[in-house]
Amino acid sequence: MRIRETILSYCKKGKLETTDEREMFLLFAIKRKLKLMSFMINSDEFGMEFTEDNFIDVIENSAYDMGVLLYREYFLILNERVEKIVTLLINGLTENNGMLEAKTFLLKRFVAKMNYE
């Protein structure tokens, strides 16, 4: 029950709707709250389904280390918007935030998935 109280506390502080799962998930990813993210996905209470949009939100907000963890868990569903993800990762290489290993790990995986025509 403590995890639920923590999630509600974050919602009140951040003025988030408790029904906006995508925004809450992104907030927890940015704050590196892995346990809360896992609870949202695995709990019957939330019933959230992880989507490619959630992954893109995480990458767009420079949480590349969390992106690696999400990729390792959900790589099978990250297939539709590969070009968008690769573009975000390439643009992210100009950021000086010390996550070069995470960026290159993800970039290597998604470039391998690209279809060249």
In a shared domain, residues 83 and 109: yes
Is a pLDDT exceeding 90 seen at residue 51? yes
Average of per-residue pLDDT across 68-90: 93
Q: Within a domain: residue 54?
A: no
Phi, psi (rounded to 5 degrees) for 73: -90, -35
- Determine contact, residues 62/92, Cβ cutoff 8 Å: yes
In a shared domain, residues 66 and 105: yes
Backbone φ/ψ region at 111: left (φ over 0), alpha (ψ -120 to 50), beta: alpha
The pLDDT, as a whole number, for residue 64 is 95
pLDDT above 90 coverage of the chain, percent: 48
Question: Domain residues for 20?
Answer: 1-49
pLDDT band at 95 (very low <50, low <70, confident <90, very high): confident
In a shared domain, residues 115 and 69: yes
In a shared domain, residues 85 and 104: yes
- Determine contact, residues 102/64, Cβ cutoff 8 Å: yes
In a shared domain, residues 68 and 109: yes
Phi, psi (rounded to 5 degrees) for 71: -60, -45
- Among 11-25, 29-43, 69-83, 99-113, the minimum mean pLDDT is found in 11-25
Tokens linked to 78: 């990250």
